[in-house]
Structure 1
Amino acid sequence: DGHRVNCGVVGYGFHHDFGRMHCRWISACDELELTAICDVDPRARERAANEFPYVAQYSSIKQMLADDDLDMVSLVTPHFTHADLAVQCLRAGKHVVVEKAMAISVDQCTLMIEEARRAERKLAVFHNRRHDGNYRAIQQTVASGTIGDVFHVECCEESFSRPQRWWYSEHDKSGGVFFYWGPHAVDWVLNLMPTRVVRVAGSTQRRVWPHVDIADEVRAHLWFEDGATALISFSRIAAIPKPLWRVLGTCGAIEDLKIGRASGAYISGYQEVLVGEAGQGQIRVVTVDGDEQHETMVDYLESDWLTYYQDMADAVLHGASLPVSGEEGRLSVAVMEAAQQSGENGGTIIEIPEYD
Structure 2
Amino acid sequence: MGHGAIEAPVRCAVVGYGAAHVFGRAHGRWIDATPGLEWVAVCDRDQERLEAAREEFPGLETYESVTEMLAHADIDMVSVVTPHFTHAPISIECMEAGKHVVVDKAMCLSVAEADAMIEAGRRNGVMLAVFHARRHDGNFRAIRQAVQSGEIGEVFHIELSAGGFRRPRDWWYSKKALGGGAFYYWGPHAIDWVLDLVGERVVGVNGFYHKLVWHEFDQADQTRAIMRFENGCVADVSFSHVAAVGKPLWRILGTKGGILDTGAGGNQGYQEEITAPPGGSFQMVQTDGEERVETDVPYLESRWLDYYIGVADHLLEGGPVPVTGEDGRRTIAVFEAAERSSQSGQTERVAYEMEAGS
Q: CA deviation at 1:16?
A: 2.4
Pair 1:51-2:89 in alignment: no
Q: Counterpart of 1:200?
A: 205
Q: Which runs of 5+ in 2 are unaligned?
A: 1-5
Q: Secondary structure at the match of 1:227?
A: coil
Looking at structure 1, the residues matched to 73 and 180 of structure 2 have their Cα atoms a distance apart, in angstroms, of: 33
Q: Counterpart of 1:27?
A: 32
Taking a change above 3 Å as real, the CA distance of residues 343 and 268 of structure 1, as seen in their structure-2 partners, is farther
2:182 to 174, 177, 188: 177
Question: Is residue 158–residue 242 contact of structure 1 (8 Å, CA) maintained in 2?
Answer: no
Note the aligned Cα RMSD (angstroms).
1.4
Looking at structure 1, the residues matched to 199 and 175 of structure 2 have their Cα atoms a distance apart, in angstroms, of: 34
Q: CA deviation at 1:279?
A: 5.2
Q: CA deviation at 1:206?
A: 1.2
Looking at structure 2, the residues matched to 190 and 269 of structure 1 have their Cα atoms a distance apart, in angstroms, of: 22
Q: Counterpart of 2:3?
A: none
Q: Secondary structure at the match of 1:162?
A: coil
Q: Normalised by the size of structure 2, how large is the TM-score? A: 0.94
Describe the superposition over 1:142-189 as per-residue Cα deviations: whole angstroms up to 9, x where unpaired.
Answer: 011111000111111131122101000000011110111110000000
**Aligned residue type for 1:237:** V
Looking at structure 1, the residues matched to 299 and 20 of structure 2 have their Cα atoms a distance apart, in angstroms, of: 30
**Aligned residue type for 2:75:** L
Q: Which runs of 5+ in 1 are unaligned?
A: none
**Aligned residue type for 1:310:** I
The 10-residue stretch of structure 1 (334-343 or 319-328) with the greater mean CA deviation from structure 2:
334-343
Q: Counterpart of 2:349?
A: 351
Question: Is residue 265–residue 278 contact of structure 1 (8 Å, CA) maintained in 2?
Answer: no
Q: Secondary structure at the match of 1:142?
A: helix
Question: Is residue 41–residue 73 contact of structure 2 (8 Å, CA) maintained in 1?
Answer: no
Q: Counterpart of 2:317?
A: 318
Describe the superposition over 1:270-312 as per-residue Cα deviations: whole angstroms up to 9, x where unpaired.
Answer: 43x22x2135221110011012111101011111111111110
Q: CA deviation at 1:68?
A: 6.1
Q: Counterpart of 2:267?
A: 266
Task: Give the alignment of 1:136-285 within 5 angstroms.
Answer: 136-258=141-263, 264-267=265-268, 270-271=271-272, 273-274=273-274, 276-278=275-277, 280-285=279-284
Q: Secondary structure at the match of 1:287?
A: strand
Describe the superposition over 1:209-254 as per-residue Cα deviations: whole angstroms up to 9, x where unpaired.
Answer: 1222111100000000011110000011111111100111011000
Task: Give the alignment of 1:306-345 within 5 angstroms.
Answer: 306-345=305-344
Q: Secondary structure at the match of 2:72?
A: coil
Question: Is residue 138–residue 279 contact of structure 2 (8 Å, CA) maintained in 1?
Answer: no
Matched residue pairs, number?
349
Of all paired residues, the percent bearing the same amino acid is 50
Q: Normalised by the size of structure 1, how large is the TM-score? A: 0.95
Looking at structure 2, the residues matched to 19 and 182 of structure 1 have their Cα atoms a distance apart, in angstroms, of: 20
Task: Give the alignment of 1:66-145 within 5 angstroms.
Answer: 66-67=71-72, 69-145=74-150
Looking at structure 2, the residues matched to 59 and 251 of structure 1 have their Cα atoms a distance apart, in angstroms, of: 56
Q: Secondary structure at the match of 2:123?
A: helix
Q: Secondary structure at the match of 1:3?
A: coil
Q: CA deviation at 1:342?
A: 1.6
Q: CA deviation at 1:6?
A: 0.2
Taking a change above 3 Å as real, the CA distance of residues 166 and 139 of structure 1, as seen in their structure-2 partners, is same
Q: Secondary structure at the match of 2:184?
A: helix
**Aligned residue type for 1:323:** P
The 10-residue stretch of structure 1 (1-10 or 289-298) with the greater mean CA deviation from structure 2:
1-10
Describe the superposition over 1:79-126 as per-residue Cα deviations: whole angstroms up to 9, x where unpaired.
Answer: 111111111000100000000011000010010001100101000000
**Aligned residue type for 2:15:** V
Looking at structure 1, the residues matched to 163 and 63 of structure 2 have their Cα atoms a distance apart, in angstroms, of: 39
**Aligned residue type for 1:15:** A
Q: CA deviation at 1:194?
A: 3.3
Question: Is residue 8–residue 37 contact of structure 1 (8 Å, CA) maintained in 2?
Answer: yes
The 10-residue stretch of structure 1 (191-200 or 124-133) with the greater mean CA deviation from structure 2:
191-200
Q: Secondary structure at the match of 2:294?
A: strand
Taking a change above 3 Å as real, the CA distance of residues 213 and 198 of structure 1, as seen in their structure-2 partners, is same
Q: Counterpart of 1:65?
A: 70
Question: Is residue 247–residue 253 contact of structure 1 (8 Å, CA) maintained in 2?
Answer: yes
Question: Is residue 152–residue 255 contact of structure 2 (8 Å, CA) maintained in 1?
Answer: yes
Question: Is residue 14–residue 43 contact of structure 1 (8 Å, CA) maintained in 2?
Answer: no
Q: CA deviation at 1:268?
A: 5.2
Looking at structure 2, the residues matched to 14 and 289 of structure 1 have their Cα atoms a distance apart, in angstroms, of: 51
Q: Counterpart of 1:290?
A: 289
